[in-house]
Chains A and B, each alone.
Chain A
Amino acid sequence: GESVGLHLPTLSVQEGDNSIINCAYSNSASDYFIWYKQESGKGPQFIIDIRSNMDKRQGQRVTVLLNKTVKHLSLQIAATQPGDSAVYFCAENRNSGYSTLTFGKGTMLLVSP
């Protein structure tokens, strides 16, 4: 079935580096995408979202890029800090009136001091 997938299961970076987490989606009808961060023992924490009428959106230290042509989503984290270590999920909301999110499998980001 259609799903959201991630290219890299684990990403290891040094503190201060920029991190890029990638996500591929297969449903061209999806019109809303969200990135979540999940730390051990906690629920997913909202990072940033983007709608399909945009290509780029920036937040504090984070940028999401959406390439609808190749159905690709990425999360860029600037000046990565040890506190950024977590599992990152991308999620898509398909073109419907529902809130239902389809999640990718997640990428573990490990930041070394």
Chain B
Amino acid sequence: KAGVTQTPRYLIKTRGQQVTLSCSPISGHRSVSWYQQTPGQGLQFLFEYFSETQRNKGNFPGRFSGRQFSNSRSEMNVSTLELGDSALYLCASSLAPKNIQYFGAGTRLSVL
């Protein structure tokens, strides 16, 4: 069974631009969560989706948004990029909430 797939793997953007990251969960998994990983802040929770509904949101500004589609694939969007948004963005999927979360390899975003 294929693991969590995140695309693209690497992105370079400039300040002010927007970006969309994609996540395909493990087949059959309906819960998708997003995390931001930086050297200074570690792994921080962004969003959690289940059955196309955002169930929980972390402490991030409104520039960070996301959605989940009927096939459980998820996207997250960051608008008006700032230098501090440079990070590894990780997606994790699980069968259902409070089950084991399996992570993708992440998307490395660099904002110049």
Chain A interface residues toward B at CB < 8 A: 32, 34, 36, 41-46, 49, 89, 91, 93, 97-106
The total of chain B residues at the interface (CB under 8 A) is 27
**Is B51 on the interface with A (CB-CB < 8 A)?**
no
Docked Cα-Cα span, A49 to B99, in Å, equals 10
Residues of A within 8 A of B44 (CB): 103
Are B97 and A97 neighbours in the complex by a CB distance under 8 Å? yes
- Cβ distance B80 to chain A, nearest Cβ, rounded Å: 25
CA gap between A99 and B92 in the complex, in Å = 10
Complex CA distance for A44 and B58, rounded to whole angstroms: 19
Determine the chain A residues whose CB is within 8 A of the CB of B42 once the complex forms: 103-106
Q: Which of chain A's residues have a CB closer than 8 A to the CB of B105?
A: 41-43
Among residues of B, the one whose C-beta sits closest to the C-beta of A98 is B56
A105 nearest in chain B by CB position = B42
Task: State in angstroms the CA–CA spacing of A105 and B41 once bound together.
Answer: 8
A100 proximity list for chain B (CB < 8 A): 33, 45, 48, 56, 58
- 8 Å CB contacts to A: which residues of B43-68? 43-45, 48, 50, 55-56, 58
Chain B residues with Cβ below 8 Å from A99 are 31, 33, 48, 50, 55-56, 92, 94, 97-99, 101
Do A43 and B106 touch (CB < 8 A)?
yes
Kindly state the separation between the CA atoms of A32 and B55 in the bound complex, as whole angstroms. 18
Residue with the highest number of chain B CB atoms closer than 10 Å, among A32, A41, A97, A99: A99
Query: Min CB distance, A23 to chain B, in Å?
Result: 13
CA distance A45 to B90 in the complex (A): 12
A92 → B minimal CB distance (Å) = 11
Between-chain CB contacts (< 8 Å), 8 pairs:
A34-B101, A42-B105, A43-B105, A44-B103, A46-B100, A89-B43, A98-B56, A99-B50
B103 CB contacts on chain A under 8 angstroms: 36, 43-46
Check B98–A43 contact: CB distance below 8 A.
no
A46 touches B102 (CB 8 A): yes
Chain B neighbourhood of A34, CB < 8 A: 100-101
